Structure 1
Amino acid sequence: MKQRNRTRKGAIVTALLTLSLATALTACSGGNKENGAAASATPPSDYSKSLSLVSAVSDGTAALFKEIDAAFVQDWKDRTGQSVAIEQASGISFAQESAIVGGQLKADVATLGVGIDIDAIQAKGLVGEGWQQRYEYNSSPFSTAVAFVVRSGNPKSIATWEDALKPDVAIVTSNPDTDSDARWYYAAAWAYSLDKQPDDQDAAQAFVTSFHNQVAVLAGNDAEAEKAFLDENKGDVWVTTESRALSLANGAAKGKVDVVVPDVTLTVEPIVSVVDSVSDANGTREVANAYADFLFTETAQTLAAKHFFRPRFESVAEQFAGTFAETTLLTVDDDLTGWEDLQAALFADGGLFGQLPAK
């Protein structure tokens, strides 16, 4: 795997000096880079009392987080003796953001599909400033990539983005207006064009327009796109995430589909933050911090890889050699100019997607 201009490769901190049991349990796991107010303000806990934690996740990671939740509950019990119950709330990323902002979802911690959804939560004062710098890898514990699902045997010989845009190829994908995670798919076409022709936004707009023109099914979400492609036999290629594609190719759709990862594609990076105001109000800040930290441990990284998400730890990646295709992975932060600019160019009012023909 190659990554263009990737700069965040710092070592993961695996232990800190133990000053007290509460401090150690808050900071001992690998991802947390923060030694500031959010961590130091955590009061000592009464571990004899059980508590509940609400974890908000986006749909594409729900199955993985069920296993992570169980592993964390056991790990926390082993370290503190405290019983924790985790309630998982899963849904489309921007629907999760909206529910948290509106107060309908009292999530202690959120792992959403796009960083700007957590930015929106921060803008309402529910998450502290600088939240994305609390953890390594820009607070993204694992990743996947934009990939293609094709019929078994790949009858249209689709290997590259250009192949997917051939006149006789019909694309199935999800609608960024109804599924915020689907922003990655259109962003991937944008990123590919800019990687090929740097700074040529006219060419990128033309490429994304050509991509959209080949879309035969613009589904409401990934589940609907999956149904259209697999059950209704629509389209020649389904543009989705590598994790979802590999899960199906190795499970329910085994023998029916092949997975193609283009030689240059966009990294999809789920991103985590404790919802500071909620966890403080609930008295769960310490365990919420520890839960977020746990995502950057070898245990959680291994579970991620088993669910076909690319782990951050090289030690774990080595155990899954051959699972993930060799490719050049672009990132929004390092190869584009961040989600704020990308949102404005593609998906906000006046952006390119709103100017494309309705599907």
Structure 2
Amino acid sequence: MTITCIIYRILKIIIFLYCFEQSAVVYSTVLLNSSYDVSRELFSEINFNFIEYWKNIHPDDTLIIKQSHAGSTRQAMAVLQGLRADVVTYNQVIDVQILYERGKLIPKNWQDRLPNRSSPFFSTMSFLVKKGNPKEIYNWNDLTKEGVKIIFPNPKTSGNGRYTYLAAWNAFFQDNCKNIKHTRNQMRKFLKNVVVFDTGGRASTATFVDRNHGDVLINFESESKLIQNQFGSNKYEIIIPNPNILVEFPVTWIDKNVIKNGTKNVAQAYLQYLYTDEAKKIINKFGYRVIDTAGVIDTNFNIFSDIQLFKVEEQYKESWSNIMKIHFQRGGELDYLLSSIGQY
């Protein structure tokens, strides 16, 4: 037998073994969800249940769901810079809208593709204080008192922080009969009391709970409920100021990415699942307010405070894009206020 024949036979064996190995491999569909900072626990349970739901419909399709978490704005920037997320589940409309405006990764009408402007659940801002509320913090004005130490995320990097800023501004604006000068004075006192501006909501939680900094943590109601459930009502109390801001959690699939990844069907099904009764029970359990078919209604209303919530665009009479330019863009209102108190 010639050397050529031997090499030929060896190659045939190698090719056969490779093909056999590949035929035994079970390929999985991988879905990547880019989400905001404090949604880890929620989507951990959602993902587990959706995988079972998907398996019942597609028994031959093994599904793996991966998560990416950070401040909502940082996550949006990562997607624009190449993170091939299949879906995004953020906490601010502008962080999804920017994927259209800057990257054309999604269509202009992305909010029309799912119910309730593509926001399957919502929340509001809360004050988490130590048991007994020693600093007597009940409303936004109480946060301007001298000596109160506030923790909340940086509005520059976090949707969580921007909602806090806008809720406070609106409260002071209304209390001061829409006088800008007096509103700014209140905002200066409020911002001067901030001792830590973390990059995201979960980092702020760690600062307040783990490092024991501050008198009050301002965070989503859902995050405060999570903390209280973990540590008990004998350690922390939750204050929901009234009136307050409606926090939307917009979602969408990333059209360009799902086409590249071959995940369009599962990505759409994943987000549609968030509107099912099964998912609503999970979402409700984690302290979020869920959407009823009749509108913005809690399906388990008894565990939530009955408060008046305002929508950002309606109250400010501006689009989110313009609000970002006015308040949070470099040289905007936030920078002006921080500079005036020596913190910029």
The TM-score range, normalised by the shorter chain, is 0.7 to 0.9
Q: Which residue of 2 aligns with 1:281?
A: 260
Q: Distance in 1 between matches of 2:197 and 2:68?
A: 26
Q: Distance in 1 between matches of 2:109 and 2:163?
A: 23
| Greater helix fraction, Structure 1 or Structure 2 | 2
* TM superposition score normalised by structure 1: 0.80
Q: Distance in 2 between matches of 1:53 and 1:219?
A: 29
Whether the aligned pair in 1 keeps the contact of 2:201 and 2:219 (CA below 8 Å) is yes
Assess, with a 3 A threshold, how the Cα gap between structure 1 residues 270 and 319 changes in structure 2: closer, same or farther.
closer
Residue 155 (structure 1) shift = 1.4
Determine helix, strand or coil for the equivalent of 1:250: helix
Alignment of 1:272-311 (within 5 A): 272-311=251-290
Amino acid at match of 2:146: P
Cα deviations by residue, 1:35-84 (Å, 9 ceiling, x for unpaired): xxxxxxxxxxxxx9742211111111121011111211211222233332
Q: Distance in 2 between matches of 1:94 and 1:313?
A: 28
Whether the aligned pair in 2 keeps the contact of 1:189 and 1:207 (CA below 8 Å) is no
Query: Would you say 1:351 and 2:337 are equivalent positions?
Result: no
Q: Which residue of 2 aligns with 1:241?
A: 220
Query: Would you say 1:321 and 2:306 are equivalent positions?
Result: no
Larger RCO: 1 or 2 (CA < 8 Å, sep 6+): 1
Q: Distance in 2 between matches of 1:134 and 1:196?
A: 38
Q: Which residue of 1 aligns with 2:18?
A: none
Alignment of 1:77-92 (within 5 A): 77-81=55-59, 82-92=61-71
Q: Which residue of 1 aligns with 2:145?
A: 166
Q: Distance in 2 between matches of 1:285 and 1:72?
A: 16
Q: Which residue of 1 aligns with 2:91?
A: 113
Unaligned runs of 5+ in 2: 1-25
Cα deviations by residue, 1:235-290 (Å, 9 ceiling, x for unpaired): 22211111111111111354211000002111221210110000011121111111
Query: Would you say 1:334 and 2:314 are equivalent positions?
Result: yes
Q: Distance in 1 between matches of 2:184 and 2:117?
A: 28
Comparing 73-82 with 112-121, greater Cα deviation is found at 73-82
Residue 311 (structure 1) shift = 0.9
* TM superposition score normalised by structure 2: 0.83
Comparing 182-191 with 312-321, greater Cα deviation is found at 312-321
Query: Would you say 1:191 and 2:170 are equivalent positions?
Result: yes
Amino acid at match of 2:90: L
Alignment of 1:74-153 (within 5 A): 74-81=52-59, 82-103=61-82, 105-123=83-101, 124-153=103-132
Determine helix, strand or coil for the equivalent of 1:51: strand
Q: Distance in 2 between matches of 1:334 and 1:342?
A: 11
Whether the aligned pair in 2 keeps the contact of 1:94 and 1:180 (CA below 8 Å) is yes
Instruction: Select which of 239, 255, 258 maps to 1:260.
Output: 239
Whether the aligned pair in 1 keeps the contact of 2:153 and 2:200 (CA below 8 Å) is yes
Determine helix, strand or coil for the equivalent of 2:164: helix
Cα deviations by residue, 1:21-43 (Å, 9 ceiling, x for unpaired): xxxxxxxxxxxxxxxxxxxxxxx
Assess, with a 3 A threshold, how the Cα gap between structure 1 residues 78 and 95 changes in structure 2: closer, same or farther.
same
Q: Distance in 2 between matches of 1:312 and 1:332?
A: 18
Comparing 274-283 with 131-140, greater Cα deviation is found at 131-140
Whether the aligned pair in 2 keeps the contact of 1:192 and 1:266 (CA below 8 Å) is no
Residue 128 (structure 1) shift = 1.2
Instruction: Select which of 149, 154, 157 maps to 1:175.
Output: 154
Whether the aligned pair in 1 keeps the contact of 2:72 and 2:90 (CA below 8 Å) is yes
Whether the aligned pair in 2 keeps the contact of 1:172 and 1:216 (CA below 8 Å) is yes
Q: Which residue of 1 aligns with 2:29?
A: 51
Instruction: Select which of 258, 264, 269 maps to 2:248.
Output: 269
Residue 338 (structure 1) shift = 3.1
Identity %: 29
Unaligned runs of 5+ in 1: 1-47
Query: Would you say 1:64 and 2:42 are equivalent positions?
Result: yes
Q: Which residue of 2 aligns with 1:219?
A: 198
Q: Which has the larger radius of gyration?
A: 2
Assess, with a 3 A threshold, how the Cα gap between structure 1 residues 317 and 266 changes in structure 2: closer, same or farther.
closer
Amino acid at match of 2:196: V
Whether the aligned pair in 1 keeps the contact of 2:130 and 2:236 (CA below 8 Å) is yes
Whether the aligned pair in 1 keeps the contact of 2:160 and 2:220 (CA below 8 Å) is no
Determine helix, strand or coil for the equivalent of 2:202: helix
Q: Distance in 2 between matches of 1:318 and 1:177?
A: 31
Cα deviations by residue, 1:288-338 (Å, 9 ceiling, x for unpaired): 111111111111111111000111127996663332112111121332223
Amino acid at match of 1:326: D
Q: Distance in 1 between matches of 2:34 and 2:203?
A: 21
Q: Which residue of 2 aligns with 1:27?
A: none
